[in-house]
A and B are shown apart, each in its own frame.
Chain A
Amino acid sequence: MRTRLFALLIMVSILLSGCAQPTTQVPAEPVKETVVVTVEVPGEVQVTTVVEEVLVTPTPGPNPEAVIEGVEQNAEITFWTFWLSPTFNDYIKSTIARFQEAYPGVTVNWEDHQATFQDDLRNAFAAGNAPDVINLSISEGWVSDYATQGLLLPLDDVVPQSAIDMYFPNLWDQQLVDGTHYQFPWYQGIQVNLVNRQIYDQTGLTIEDFPKTVDGLPALCKTIKEVTGTLCDIRLTVNDLLAQMTYEGGVQVINADGTAFTFDSPEAVAWLQLYVNMVKDGTVDKTVLVTDQDRVGLDLFTTGQAAFYNTGPNLIREVRANNPGLYGYLAVVPAPVGKSGVVGKGLMAISVKADTAFPNASIALSQFFTNPRSMLEFSKIVAIYPSTPASYDDPFFSAAPVAIEDSAKPYAKDAVSKLADIVPTVPHKADVNEIVLQAIQQALFNNVDPQQALSDAVASANALLP
């Protein structure tokens, strides 16, 4: 053939534009690359063709956020969050993108689960396809629930001390099971009472008069009922009544060696009697009092039917979105403290499943989402509080609050540093809680003496112990 090809050379030139090394502060952005194919045909004109333009991520340099070593190559991990989508889609996606720059080659599949989170998670564990990284609630006791079943990865031997030191010690040490850590502390809440001044101010009380302790609530509710005719929007922590007894009543729920329950003590009876009296006085909404869904109580407040409600500042956004008319009449006061003197326990954590195929990548993702920078960025878009002291050094936290959502910002670091899980590990927790719930209902609604109700419950609960 006259037009025989003497040689065929394919050359792919990669022309990097703006190919700067990633810095510690500025994450590497994907850059546009031009793929060029040059074909040389002897005796003929050389032809150069731009085939396509593609986006690639430059080779990463040292990244201060990449603190976990030995991350598995080409790991593909699944991450489940609890009720964060769609509101925080942008934040979650951008944090995952930043994570993938710090740990190139790791793929993260994110899913958000909401009302059915617990059911979905149990089913996923049963089916053997549970997520590698899981957002669990500290306040609901999920970490200890799953850890005691051997479903979570112990962290003590695999997380470097430098990473542990990033967290408030009181938060890192929450929900230990036999002294072992199973969670990275994530975003925290500060319990406050949202006050509807349209109702509250009718009582003639000032915001400063709002009770500082739980003991002061019955008198306040009585005044509100007499003056305004509305009922108090107070919710028992139905899913964890032992915790509520501990914090509010200063009750020791089980003896030191864990061999007998003790939640029929005078302190426990006094705690229950406080609520029994409010029900007898008709000053609380009974439906809200025993619902296990926070949204029921929040809805009552949001619709302008209650004088106050105990929740986190992060849920003020619900009031603003659903009842803007009420938003202008909101005040925020610290939640009353119980006899324990401890304000409460942490809010959210991230854990890793025990049998993950990619433990280091999963730990890396958990640590990354809870590192000071990720926490700070999250705090800037919603009123949650970091579990990392370093985040509070940012001017964002020292700036004077503007919106009502930011009211807790000036004292947030101090408040978060005092959160503590003071509830001991309770065997058969869900069953004992159910026994306590039945007993409390008997006292509240069936005229059973509180002492009798709690003593019967202790007897039933002790029968569950070995």
Chain B
Amino acid sequence: MTKKLSLTPYLFLIPALLVIAVFVLYPIVAVVYYSFTDYSISTPPEWVGLKNYQQLMKDPIFWQALSHSLIYLIVTPTLIFLSILLAIVVNRKLPGIHAFRALFFIPAISGSIAVGIAWRLMLDTNGIINGTLLSLGILKEPIQWLAEPAYTLPIAMMLTTWLGVGYYMMVFLAGLQNIPEELYDAALIDGCNVWQKHRHVSIPGLRPQITFVAVISSLAALQVFNEIFTLTGGLGGILNSGVTIVFYLWRQAFRLNHAGFASAIAMVLLVITLAFSIMNIRILERGTEAD
């Protein structure tokens, strides 16, 4: 019996493939090409071979930006911990609990630029945070929070966490509600206290969600830009204290007009994010097989 090849499924795929080819594949190929050129966007690219990559390896600000991006990954475990905690808190049948869930979710639907500007105003020398700390006697003089290199990255990470925690809380909440109640009953019969109940039932039950959040939030952390841009007024922080790899890419491409060099940075970022994604998928597959 011979199989008859049908074209119909492929015809249905063509529109999606075209969109992917134009908006994903072509840009990737173009960036690979530009990374070997001297390109200023407004003038045609000139082939320079490996010069951009050699320059990148010798560029101290690139390594500083890369280290900041890796430090930024701290937001991932922080987000997972806080989101699970919040999900457990709101996973109760209490009056008005829906309102609390909605409140925690609001930052997730707020624009990161608007939120960044709001935080910048709060952290201003004469902002509400200094005002509160001064009135409580904790500070004697206002601190220029965003002008202190030591604070730039932690503040941006705090902002990313604040923005994301509500969204990931909903993911974990959905996961918690899928865990059979019988497992908690069995844990109680076995003498588990509240902490042990979550340690031995909730956390293992949330494993797929934890993996998902770990992948998504770590990729987002590696690509952080909006928070840095808005908090530092486009400078990247004093002494490059808030410059991450995507921010450095943007600065090179759109401030200094080095689109070729920026493409080389993009290629390095692509390799890193690809490695992260593969690693996370492997972990996910291993976890699924174990289950």
Query: Residue B234 contacts which of A119, A123, A285, A293 (CB distance < 8 angstroms)?
Result: A293
| Given A125-B41, A126-B41, A151-B42: A290 and B235 interface contact (C-beta under 8 Å) | yes
Task: Please tell me if A244 contacts chain B, counting CB pairs below 8 Å.
Answer: no
Return B40 CB to nearest CB of chain A, in Å. 7
A340 to chain B, nearest CB (A): 26
Chain A, interface SS category? helix
Judged by a CB distance under 8 angstroms, whether B254 is at the interface is yes
Contact yes or no, B125 A434, CB < 8 A: no
Residues of A within 8 A of B238 (CB): 286, 290, 441, 445
Size range of the interface on A? 20 to 34
- Tell me, yes or no, whether A149 is within 8 Å of chain B by CB: yes
Which residues of the other chain, A, contact B256 by a CB distance below 8 angstroms?
Answer: 430-431, 434
B233: chain A residues at CB < 8 Å are 287, 291-293, 296
Identity of the chain B residue whose Cβ is nearest the Cβ of A430 in the assembled complex:
B256
How large, as a class, is the contact surface on chain B?
20 to 34
Enumerate 13 A-B pairs (CB-CB under 8 Å) in ascending A order. A122-B42, A122-B257, A125-B42, A285-B125, A287-B124, A287-B233, A293-B233, A293-B234, A305-B125, A305-B126, A430-B256, A434-B255, A445-B239
In the assembled complex, the Cα of A118 lies from the Cα of B240 at a distance in Å of 23
**Which residue of chain A has the shortest Cβ distance to B144 in the bound complex?**
A286
CA distance A231 to B149 in the complex (A): 19
7 cross-chain pairs, A with B, having the tightest CB-CB distances, nearest first:
A286-B147, A125-B42, A291-B233, A122-B41, A122-B42, A287-B147, A126-B41
Residue ID in chain B nearest A238 by CB atoms: B235
B270 → chain A closest CB, angstroms: 22
A-side contacts of B235, CB under 8 Å: 238, 290-292
Closest to B123 in A: A287
- Tell me if A446 counts as interface (CB < 8 A to partner B): yes
Chain A hits for B115, CB < 8 A: none
Please determine whether B125 and A231 come into contact, CB atoms closer than 8 angstroms. Answer: yes
Nearest-CB distance from A43 to chain B (Å)?
66
Contacts of B41 in A (CB 8 A): 122-123, 125-126
Rounded to whole angstroms, the CA-CA distance of A431 and B146 in the bound complex is 25
Is B288 engaged at the interface, CB distance under 8 Å to the other chain? no
A78 interface residue, CB < 8 Å from B?
no
What residues of A have a CB within 8 angstroms of the CB of B146 in the complex?
287
| Residues of B that sit less than 8 Å from A by CB | 40-43, 61, 124-126, 144, 146-147, 149, 233-235, 238-240, 254-257
How would residues 181 to 222 of chain A score, 1 for a CB under 8 Å from any chain B CB and 0 otherwise?
Answer: 000000000000000000000000000000000000000000
CB of A444, distance to nearest CB on chain B (Å): 8
Instruction: Point out which of B42, B233, B240, B256 has the most chain A C-beta atoms below 10 A from its C-beta.
Output: B42
A442 interface contact, C-beta 8 A: yes
* Chain B residue at minimal CB-CB distance from A287: B147
Docked CA distance A266–B257 (Å): 32
Kindly state the separation between the CA atoms of A125 and B235 in the bound complex, as whole angstroms: 26
**Within the complex, which residue of A121, A149, A290 is in contact with B40, where a contact is CB–CB below 8 Å?**
A149
CA of A149 to CA of B61 in the docked complex: distance in angstroms?
27
Closest chain A residue to B146 by CB distance? A287
Q: Residue of B at shortest CB range from A297?
A: B233
Residue of B nearest to A282 (CB): B141
Q: Are A126 and B42 in contact (CB under 8 A)?
A: yes
B140 to chain A, nearest CB (A): 11
| Shortest distance between the CB of A385 and any CB in chain B (Å) | 29
| Interface-centre pick from B40, B147, B255 (highest chain A CB count, 10 A) | B147
For B126, what are the chain A residues with a Cβ–Cβ distance below 8 Å? 303, 305
> For residue A151, which residue of chain B has the nearest CB?
B42
**A438→B239 CA distance, assembly (Å):** 7
